[in-house]
Amino acid sequence: MNVQVSTNFRKHARKTILSIVVFAVTYVILLLLAIGITVGFTLLGLLMFTAKPMFLTAVLCLGLLATGLTILFFLLKFVFASTKVDTGHLTQIYESDEPQLFALIHEVVKEVDTSFPKKVFLSHDVNASVFYDSSFWSMFLPIKKNLQIGVGMVNAVTQQELKAILAHEFGHFSQKSMKVGSYVYHVNQIIYNMLYKNESLDNMFGKWGNISGYSAIFIGISMFIIQQIQHILKHLYEYVNLNYLALSREMEFHADEIAAHVAGSRALADSLLRLGFANHALNNVLTFYDTKFSENIRSRNIYPEHRCVMLLFAERNRYQVQNGFPQIELATLKKYDKSKLNLEDQWSSHPSDEDRVKALQKLNIVKQEANNAPAIELLANHAAVANQISDKLFAQVQYQQPPSMLEITSFSDDFESRMNKYAVDQRFNDFYDYNHPVRKGETPIFQGQSKPTFDELFADSRVDTLYELNSLKNDKYVVEAISKGELKLKSFDYDGIKYRAADAIELLKKIEDTIVDTEHKITDYNQQIHYYFAHLADTQGMCEEFERRYYDFAFFDKNYEEAQELYAHMTENTRFIFQTLPFADIEARLQDVKRREGELKKKLATLMALPGSKDELDDPLLTSLDTYINKDLIYFNVDHYNEDNLQILFNAISAYKKLLDDQHFAKKKHYLNFMLTLEEGKGQKKELS
C-alpha cells in the first residue's frame, strides 16, 4: 500500500521541520552559552582562590563551579530522561490465548506494511492506541510499539470496524514521511521536561541549600539564569507545539485514508460516529455501580450490561440498529449542535469527527467483503476475558464486605427503571429536555390561524429552536472571550461571514439580540402549549386538577434557580478546604460558610420532608444528613480540620443538589404526564362520539 501524503501534510511537515531546526539551533546556542558560563565561572573561582587562598574563596570557587554545572545539567538532563507508560491497569494478552484477535492484527500489519506490536494489552475502556516508552534516543533508534485495545471499544464495533480502527493506529507508523511526527513529538517532550519536570533539580537545590548558608547566593544565581532560559524555551515550545499540532491533525487524516484503503471508508466512519455514544453508555454503567457501592453490589461482567445500555439508549433516541449495533448518522450529531461559529482550533491535536467523517465519505472506498460480526467474538472466550477486566476494575473499590454479583436481567430492569424515572415521555419529542413547561405573559393570539395540533406543538422544527438557543448561548460565550482577548484569534467565521477579532463586540450584540428573539419564540411555543392543554382540561372538566399540577411545578421552578445558587455558593466557598492556607484565613473563610449554612440546613430539611425524597438515600447518608441538620458542627479546631465533620458537610451539599434536582424533575414529570392524560382523554372522547 502506498497512500500519498496530502499537500497540506507536506506544507505542515515543512513548517514542523523548520521548527525543529529552529529549536536545534537555539538549543545549541544555549548549550554553548552554558558551557561558556561554566568555564568562565570555574576560571573566575580559580583565579580568586589562587590570588587569596582561604576558606571563603574556596567556597566561592566551588559555588561558581557548581552554578555553572547546574545550568549545564539543566540543559542536558533530558538526554537521560525517559518516559515510561504505566501499564498496571492493563491486561497483557498473548497469541496462544487469543489466536483470532492476533490473526486480525497480523492481517492489518501486513496490509499497512508496518511492524507487529511488541506487546498487546487490553483495557476496560472505549479506546485504542499505540504507545511506547520513549527517551531522547527514540528519535534515532528503532523502537517497538505496544498496542492497547479497549474491550469497551471491541464490544461496540463489528470486526470490519475493528480492522479499520487498528489500521488507523498502525497507519501512523506505516510511512517514512510520518517519521517527522515522531521527531517533533520528542522535541516537544524535551522542552516540556525542561520547563515543567524539574524534580531532580529541585532536590539538588534542596540538598545544596542544607550544606551552607552561602549556598543561597549560588542557588539564586543558578535559578535566575535557568529562569531566563525557560523564558526563551516557553516561546519556543509554543512555536514548535503549534506546528506539531497542525501536523498532527494532518496525520489523523492520513491515517484515516490508510484505514479506508484497508477496511473501507464506511467501516471507519461508522465506528467514529458510534464510539462517543458507546463511551457515554459505558460511563452510565459505571455510574450506575457507583450508586451500588454502599450496597456491596458489583457487576460480574460490565460488557453485556454495556451492550444492553447501548441498545436502550438507541431505542430512546430512535437510532436504527444494524448488525446489532446502533447506527449514528452525521446529521444526528449536527441536530444538537447548531453553532454558526467556525474557529480554527490551532491547539487541537485531532480534527473534529465531523471533518474526519466527511473526508472519509469523500474518499468513498468500498470493500465488498465486510465482516459485520461483533468484534467481541474474536476473543477466544470473551466472557472470561471480560470477567477478568471487570474484576480488575472493581478491585479498586473498597467494599465493606465481599460484594454480591448483579445478574444481567436484574441490571437491565434496575437501569431501565432509573432511566425511565429521569426521562420525559417520548411523545413530547425531546421538547422538554432543555425546556420547562412554564407559562409567561398573555394567552397567545392566533390571529385567525387554526390552533396547532399536538404533533405541531412538538414538531421537530420547534425542538430545533431549543437546540439553536443552546448553541447561540455557547457562541455568545466564545465570542465574548474573543472580545475580551481571553481567546486570541486574528479572525474567525460566523454564519459564513469572516470577522476580525476586533469585530467581536459588534457581533456579540447581534448574537444577544438573536438570543432574545429566540427566547421570545420559545415563550410563545410554551404559551400555545399551555393554552392547548388548558382548553383540553376545560372540555374534560379537569381545570382544577390541571391548575393544581401546573402551579405545583411552576412555584417550585420559580425558586429553583435561587436554590441552585445556594449550592453553587457552598461548593465554591468550600474549595479552600483542599488548599494549604494560614490558619487565620481558614477561620475567616469558614465563617462565611457558616453564614449560609443555616439557609442550607433549612432548605435541606424542607426537601427531605417532601414525599419520596428519601427513597434513594441509604441509612448511613440519612444519619449523616440528620446529624448535619440538627447539630452545630465544628470543622476546624485551632490547627487542624475535623475530617469526620467535613465529610458530613460535603454529604449535605451533595445530597441537597440531588434532592433539589430530583424534586424539580419529579414535579415537572408529574405535570407533563397529566398533560398526556388530557391528550389521551381527547382521543377517547372522539371514539365515544
Instruction: State pLDDT tens for residues 113-138.
Output: 888 999 999 999 999 998 877 766 66
* C-alpha–C-alpha distance, residues 521 and 462, integer Å: 9
- How sure is the predictor about 432, in pLDDT bands with cuts at 50, 70 and 90? very high
pLDDT value at residue 447: 54
Residue pLDDT, tens place only, 58-96: 878 888 888 888 888 878 776 666 777 788 889 999 999
Helix (H) or strand (E) holding 611: none
Q: How confident is the model at residue 208 (pLDDT cuts 50, 70, 90)?
A: low
How would DSSP label each residue in 78-128?
HHH-EE----TT-EEE-TTT-HHHHHHHHHHHHHHT-PPPS-EEEESSS-E
pTM above 0.85, yes or no: no
551-596 pLDDT tens trace? 999 999 999 999 999 999 999 999 999 998 899 999 999 999 999 9
Give the model's pLDDT for residue 494: 92
Average pLDDT taken over every residue of the chain: 87
Angle at CA 614, nearest 5°, toward 425 and 648?
125
- Which residues, including other chains, have CB under 8 Å from residue 530's CB and lie 6 or more apart? 437, 439, 550
Percent of the chain with pLDDT over 70: 89
- Separation CA 639–CA 493 (nearest Å): 55
- Cα–Cα distances (Å) from 28 to 25, 233, 236, 264, 671, in that order, read 5, 13, 14, 47, 72
For residue range 3-38, list pLDDT tens digits in order.
777 788 888 888 888 888 888 888 889 889 989 988
CA distances from 462 to 256, 430, 458, 529, 673 (A): 37, 10, 6, 12, 20
